[in-house]
């Protein structure tokens, strides 16, 4: 099964750039920047099974140190693309929060990532990469305003690359209602919205988010069965990130993961990594866990991948090509 899943031309729809650097990539990055990769630093960039979501957000700070220069950010972007390509991911929508520091502005940040994606695709032509700038809900609202206006502007120059806006960050911080007017503006300007929703228990906020609407729902761990039905009626997929949820403690075990309830309800879903680096996983591994835990067959894994193709923000033509790759792979194994 593992070999089958590795070879499957997979589709990744929920991946945070700074969370998506595997250990080898972190080592390569640290060596490039500092001439060596102290093991202590590498250890700090990984989340153990601490079952503490707040601790996860602390971990990102160590990775962020490695991407705090233009060179670090550029190379990290290339490495993240490399890691997905090596896992045979044929399409990834990378999300990342534009940051400002002494080395770059938020505009620079996005431009560096865009250029790095364009360059990386020359090295890894089999993977298609899209970008979703993120709003970090733990940051002030005016930062979100800047992010949205940059995303809207850059989407005009790179219409096939910047496709939407992500709302993420520590769900215990910030209020959705404060960000709703800004992300509403993004939607009016034609950007898709992916929203981290129900990652922790917050029924009133979940209700606000569902009323507001979104193209895809991130995590959805605390959605009630009624809310899952509502998403089903609206054809909004839930981005399920098994290892992330278990390691960060928002779901108690793989067996208890809400993917099971979503599958039973036959509601739309996609399997994603979230932060393949810091959670030490791959998309292949996430599918493997789903097959081992819920008994998915190979055909179900193919269908889940086709579902991800369908819910991606790629063009019709791109989606058609991706679906063909998946079907051809499945057919080649039956011969």
Binding mask 285-324 for ligand 6MZ (x = CB under 6 A): ----------------------------------------
Distance CA 171, CA 184 (A): 19
**Closest Cα partner for 122 from 161, 78, 63?**
78
Q: Which tokens hold the place of 253?
A: 């075990």
* Segment interacting with ligand 6MZ (CB under 6 A) among 11-19, 153-161, 177-185, 206-214: 11-19
Among 78, 93, 111, 199, the one annotated catalytic: 199
Q: Does 130 bind ligand 6MZ (CB under 6 A)?
A: no
With beta carbons less than 8 A apart as the criterion, state whether 131 and 94 touch: yes
- Number of other residues whose CB lies within 10 A of the CB of residue 111: 18
Q: Does 244 bind ligand 6MZ (CB under 6 A)?
A: yes
Distance CA 91, CA 81 (A): 10
Q: Does 93 bind ligand 6MZ (CB under 6 A)?
A: no
**Closest Cα partner for 176 from 215, 135, 143?**
135
* Strand, coil or helix: 247: helix
Q: Of 145-184, which residues contact ligand 6MZ (CB under 6 A)?
A: 168-169
Q: Which tokens hold the place of 84?
A: 């997905």
* Segment interacting with ligand 6MZ (CB under 6 A) among 10-18, 37-45, 123-131, 202-210: 10-18
Distance CA 60, CA 99 (A): 13
Q: Does 96 bind ligand 6MZ (CB under 6 A)?
A: yes
Parallel, antiparallel, or unpaired for β 216-219 and 10-16?
unpaired
Considering beta carbons, is residue 134 or 215 the nearer one to ligand 6MZ? 134
Binding mask 99-128 for ligand 6MZ (x = CB under 6 A): ------------------------------
Distance CA 195, CA 205 (A): 12
Considering beta carbons, is residue 62 or 294 the nearer one to ligand 6MZ? 62
Q: Is 199 an active-site residue? A: yes
Q: Which residues bind ligand 6MZ (CB under 6 A)?
A: 16-19, 56, 60, 96-97, 134, 136, 168-169, 196, 199, 244, 248, 274-275
């Amino acid at each position: 099964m593992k070999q089958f899943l590795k070879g499957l031309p997979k589709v990744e729809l929920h991946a945070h750039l700074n969370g998506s650097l595997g250990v080898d990539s972190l080592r390569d990055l640290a060596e490039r920047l500092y001439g060596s990769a102290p093991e202590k630093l590498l250890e700090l960039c990984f989340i153990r099974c601490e079952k503490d979501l707040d601790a996860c957000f602390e971990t990102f700070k160590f990775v962020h140190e490695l991407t705090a220069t233009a060179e670090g950010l550029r190379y990290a972007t290339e490495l993240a693309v490399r890691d997905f390509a090596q896992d045979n991911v044929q399409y990834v929508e990378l999300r990342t929060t534009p940051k400002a520091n002494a080395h770059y502005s938020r505009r620079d940040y996005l431009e560096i990532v865009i250029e790095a994606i364009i360059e990386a695709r020359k090295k890894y032509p089999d993977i298609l990469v899209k970008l979703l700038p993120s709003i970090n809900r733990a940051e002030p609202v005016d930062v979100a305003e800047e992010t949205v206006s940059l995303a809207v502007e850059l989407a005009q120059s790179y219409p096939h690359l910047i496709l939407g806006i992500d709302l993420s960050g520590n769900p215990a911080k910030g209020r959705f209602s404060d960000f709703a007017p800004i992300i509403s503006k993004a939607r009016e300007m034609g950007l898709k919205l992916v929203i981290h929703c129900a990652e922790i228990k917050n029924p009133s906020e979940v209700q606000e988010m569902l009323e507001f609407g979104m193209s895809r729902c991130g995590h959805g761990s605390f959605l009630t069965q009624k809310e899952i039905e509502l998403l089903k009626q609206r054809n909004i997929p839930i981005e399920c990130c098994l290892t992330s949820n278990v390691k960060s403690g928002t779901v108690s075990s793989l067996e208890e993961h809400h993917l099971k309830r979503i599958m039973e309800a036959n509601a739309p879903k996609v399997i994603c990594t979230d932060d393949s680096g810091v959670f030490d996983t791959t998309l292949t591994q996430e599918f493997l866990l789903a097959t081992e835990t819920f008994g998915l067959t190979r055909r179900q894994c193919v269908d889940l991948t086709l579902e991800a193709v369908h819910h991606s923000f790629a063009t019709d033509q791109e989606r058609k090509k991706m679906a063909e790759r998946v079907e051809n792979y499945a057919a080649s194994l039956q011969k």
